[in-house]
Chains A and B, each alone.
Chain A
Amino acid sequence: MSTFVIGYYALLIGASCLAAYFKRREMFLLIFSLTLVSFVTGIVGGAPALRLITTCAGLLALAAGTSYAFREFLILITPEGVAKELRTAPLTAAFGMFVIFTYAIAGIFAPIIAPFGEAQVISSAFAPPDETMLLGADQLGRDMFSRIIFGARNSVGLALLATGLAFFMGALAGLLAATKGGWFDQFMGRFADVIMSVPSLVFALLMLSIFGTNLTVIVIVVAVIYSPRVFRLTRAVAGNVVVMDFIEAAKLRGEGTWYLIRREILPNSTAPLIAEFGLEFCFVFLLIAGLSFLGLGIQPPTADWGSMVRENATLISFGELTPLIPAAAIALLTVAVNFVVDWMLFRSSGLKEV
């Protein structure tokens, strides 16, 4: 038995004893069950399996540490009110914020960060990684790493634009429907039902084949597909606000619809809307990636994570993980956004008055 294995078990058992002694129940259960699992994996997989566990645990610890540090950093640099909110954020949310922050930096400063151009052919097709190319080359010999960085800008930017538009249309319609009521409400509601009744991917493919695949069309089509969901949520949230006495007071004062929406209703429905924005952003992002994968989204040579998966897909049959990197980038962002949204949902549904 190597010193690594002995050290590994000694550390785990020591830590679980300590946890038990200090009555940290959850900590103890976690560490001790890991010890038991390690016994089994150690016997089955030997030292390499234990090394893998160690690496994973190390990565997790690293992520947790980064998240913690990032949260403290945010608390320090933000003004008092925001900092107070941030203190309530769990580590998962901090991790999400960190990932989003990294993506934003990558997207905004893409030309500076990326070592090569988006469409620049620098080596042979499917060249393996070396000092100049961190992640190797794609099917045309372009630098994978640079394309991922540019992809952040294109994919995320496009998704952000489409989600923003969907929210603008959906929220406006929802607020109007809740305030006006009557036939307008009915009409908008049924219209939303019609759009929602068509499967989103089929609808998008249809529209894109009719109007052609340029960016404006993609943004508008995706926004139209997702606005009914926003409409429904907004209408429901605003519906609860509209019946309050202060709305009646404002109506009796003679205020117009626009004032009611802007000053009285909207401030009381922002929390769930922001949370919904995060969720919808993930769906929109996945839809756009899906469209690109099918070849109807962002067109080459523009770098985009969805199409990058498709273009390099042949490599999977050779046991290469390269095509999965852009997919992992998509997955990571989706998870990160959901972590942040979970926290926001928790806050907005909490009993606490803001």
Chain B
Amino acid sequence: MVPKKDVLLQIKDLRIEGYSEEKWVEIVHGVDLTLHKGEVLGLIGESGAGKSTIGLASMGFARDGCRISGGSIEFDGMELTTTPESDLRALRGSRIAYVAQSAAASFNPAHKIIDQHTEAPIQYRISKRVEAQEDAMQLYERLRLPNPSEIGFRYPHQVSGGQLQRAMTAMAMACRPDLIIFDEPTTALDVTTQIEVLAAIRDIVDQFNTAAIYITHDLAVVAQMADTIKVLLKGEEVEEAPTAQMLGSPKEDYTKSLWAVRSFKRPQKNRPTGADAVPIVSVQGIDAAYGKTKVLDDVSFDIYPGMTVAVVGESGSGKSTTARCITGLLPPTKGKILFNGQELPAKYTDRTKDQLRQAQMIYQMADTALNPKIRISEIIGRPAQFYSGLHGAALKNRVDELLDLIELDPAKFYNRYPPELSGGQKQRVGIARALAADPAFIICDEVTSALDQLVAEGILKLLDRLQQEFNLAYMFITHDLATVRSIADEVVVMQRGKVVEQGPKDEMFTPPHHPYTDLLLSSVPEMDPNWLSTLLEERGTDAIGEAADV
């Protein structure tokens, strides 16, 4: 078996098993993959599709509780499934590198960045410490990190998330590997930061002619990065094609459905007019501070009944803090919040039960928002019991009714615990808990950002349906402008604790914009494979590093 000269990685009929419920279950069912030198392959699919598992397997690695049960993985003529662990270890880091999703969680917080960077080259005796450090600084410069000669000597918590992700990419390049596996490197970042990282990754891969496997669930991102795209579903390949062809004419139905996700859009509603139209929530000139740090500065906006107001901005812009002020968790230092024309007490402990009932909240992380040790029936039933005093059969009926509303089968889910549910189901339970209070206003804090696109779309449709059914008002906190496009009626753009622009959605999405809004809008990846190049040209290469500071 003589491999073709430029084939770097050849995976044939890969089968991986996972251990669950006391037996081995196959989770990857015979996937083939061929990667040539210098080629970038995009792996795409929803969570549980086996993307990361396959990515790790290409280093000959299986996570705890997983094992490679069949097939062959051939890296540059070397069969990884039969190679002893010690040889594999020598391969990893030097010839195959891995960039994890969360750089913040993957760096060791107790060591300086550059020490972690130089560990592999020194370990493999590729270079001496000093040389390795110089090389690291050069890489930092290429990745356009600020102060390349100094930044490496900081600890991971002293640099921002986007910078850390770039430092991690630099670290992966430390030994000039032949193959890098990028496991959702930008998923946890804002759109504006995402661009910097994407541009940096693409540059460095081009410059060193490194092959890469780029794992993501974001199609628009993969369109920028990959030469070839492979779509996975439940551990099986759906289809594989060159990027342009895949985007232009997907063959399989599943791929088409993935492509169509961002198409959900509902007509924009306008504010009710007339003298009797009172906003359900009116935020009037609030300031807020954590200790002495001022985080909100004169924030004002109105939310009318039955409407969705999207609050957008990158992280740290004060979106969630505004929500905390409205719920009363963080009393504002100035200004007031009106609910149906009446002023709300600043602290939630001073509000009446009815005021608390009227405003509910849905959280970003359904995992931490639902108590893992309480049954679904009680999670949903408690607000109904607490506010309306329902009990016994009436309470059970109410819970069944709510479960029906969120499209979960009451017979199946009534007695389950949250850890037994999938991410989307948990988020639905979170919605049901908010609905159980029979509110008029719901704050949705990044409710879809932790979910796959298909699942997220389901949640958005559900929220939309519930809004029409119960005339709910939503305050929709998000950094995803695609979500804003699909569900919002009005948009409030925030930056550094201030509202920079607000107005009806259609107006916001048509120029002219405030410069910051413009930056946000243009940073949202599009399906066009040339989007990133065009954008970078427009902005000028120098602007990338400082894009967030416009």
> What residues make up the interface of A, taking CB atoms closer than 8 Å to B?
244-246, 248-249, 251-255, 263-264, 267-268, 353-354
Are the CB atoms of B356 and A249 closer together than 8 Å?
no
CB of A41 to closest CB in B, whole Å = 39
Selected interface stretch from B122-130, B361-369, B485-493: B361-369
Q: Which of B487-523 contact A (CB under 8 A)?
A: none
Are the CB atoms of B374 and A249 closer together than 8 Å?
no
Residue contacts A-B, CB under 8 angstroms, 11 given? A245-B368, A249-B363, A251-B348, A252-B329, A253-B382, A253-B437, A254-B348, A263-B378, A267-B373, A267-B374, A354-B419
B contacts with A, residue count (CB < 8 A) = 25
CB of A212 to closest CB in B, whole Å = 44
Report the Cα distance A144→B189, complex, angstroms: 72
With known contacts A252-B329, A253-B356, A246–B386 Cβ distance under 8 A: no
Are the CB atoms of B356 and A246 closer together than 8 Å?
no
Are the CB atoms of A245 and B363 closer together than 8 Å?
yes
Report the Cα distance A254→B370, complex, angstroms: 16
Q: Which residue of A lies closest to B64 (CB)?
A: A351
Mark interface residues in B155-188 (1 if CB within 8 Å of A CB, else 0).
0000000000000000000000000000000000
Q: Which of B68-92 contact A (CB under 8 A)?
A: none
Q: Which residue of B lies closest to A265 (CB)?
A: B371
Residues of A close to B386: CB separation below 8 A: 253-255
Q: Which residue of A lies closest to B371 (CB)?
A: A246
Mark interface residues in B350-392 (1 if CB within 8 Å of A CB, else 0).
0101001000010101001111111000100011001100000
Are the CB atoms of A254 and B374 closer together than 8 Å?
no
Report the Cα distance A248→B324, complex, angstroms: 11
B327: interface (CB < 8 Å)? yes
Mark interface residues in B314-330 (1 if CB within 8 Å of A CB, else 0).
00000000000001110
With known contacts A249-B363, A254-B356, A263–B437 Cβ distance under 8 A: no
CB of B187 to closest CB in A, whole Å = 20
Report the Cα distance A251→B361, complex, angstroms: 12
CB of A78 to closest CB in B, whole Å = 17
Are the CB atoms of B372 and A245 closer together than 8 Å?
no
With known contacts A252-B327, A353-B419, A268–B371 Cβ distance under 8 A: yes
Are the CB atoms of A248 and B371 closer together than 8 Å?
no
With known contacts A252-B329, A253-B356, A254-B356, A264–B371 Cβ distance under 8 A: yes
Residues of A close to B373: CB separation below 8 A: 267-268
Are the CB atoms of A246 and B348 closer together than 8 Å?
no
Are the CB atoms of A253 and B383 closer together than 8 Å?
yes
Are the CB atoms of B353 and A249 closer together than 8 Å?
no
Residues of B close to A249: CB separation below 8 A: 361, 363, 369, 433
Q: Which of B301-354 contact A (CB under 8 A)?
A: 327-329, 348, 351, 353
Report the Cα distance A179→B223, complex, angstroms: 48
CB of B204 to closest CB in A, whole Å = 34
CB of A91 to closest CB in B, whole Å = 19
Report the Cα distance A304→B386, complex, angstroms: 51
Q: Which residue of B lies closest to A87 (CB)?
A: B22
Are the CB atoms of B371 and A267 closer together than 8 Å?
yes
Report the Cα distance A32→B419, complex, angstroms: 47
Report the Cα distance A242→B52, complex, angstroms: 32
Report the Cα distance A244→B366, complex, angstroms: 11
Are the CB atoms of A246 and B419 closer together than 8 Å?
no
Q: Which residue of B lies closest to A267 (CB)?
A: B373
Report the Cα distance A322→B369, complex, angstroms: 59
Residue of A253, A268, A353 with highest tally of chain B CB at under 10 A: A253
Residues of B close to A244: CB separation below 8 A: 368-369, 371
Residues of B close to A254: CB separation below 8 A: 348, 351, 353, 356, 386
B368 contact from A246, A255, A263, Cβ within 8 A: A246
Closest A-B pairs by Cβ, 9 of them: A267-B373, A245-B369, A353-B419, A246-B371, A245-B368, A254-B356, A245-B363, A244-B368, A254-B353
With known contacts A252-B361, A254-B356, A263-B374, A246–B369 Cβ distance under 8 A: yes
Are the CB atoms of B353 and A246 closer together than 8 Å?
no
Residues of A close to B419: CB separation below 8 A: 353-354
Report the Cα distance A267→B417, complex, angstroms: 12
Report the Cα distance A250→B29, complex, angstroms: 43
Report the Cα distance A248→B365, complex, angstroms: 13
Are the CB atoms of B368 and A252 closer together than 8 Å?
no
Q: Which residue of A lies closest to B365 (CB)?
A: A245
CB of A239 to closest CB in B, whole Å = 15
CB of A264 to closest CB in B, whole Å = 6
Are the CB atoms of B356 and A252 closer together than 8 Å?
yes
Q: Which residue of A lies closest to B420 (CB)?
A: A353
Are the CB atoms of B329 and A248 closer together than 8 Å?
yes
CB of B106 to closest CB in A, whole Å = 17
Residues of B close to A251: CB separation below 8 A: 329, 348
Report the Cα distance A140→B50, complex, angstroms: 75
Report the Cα distance A244→B372, complex, angstroms: 11
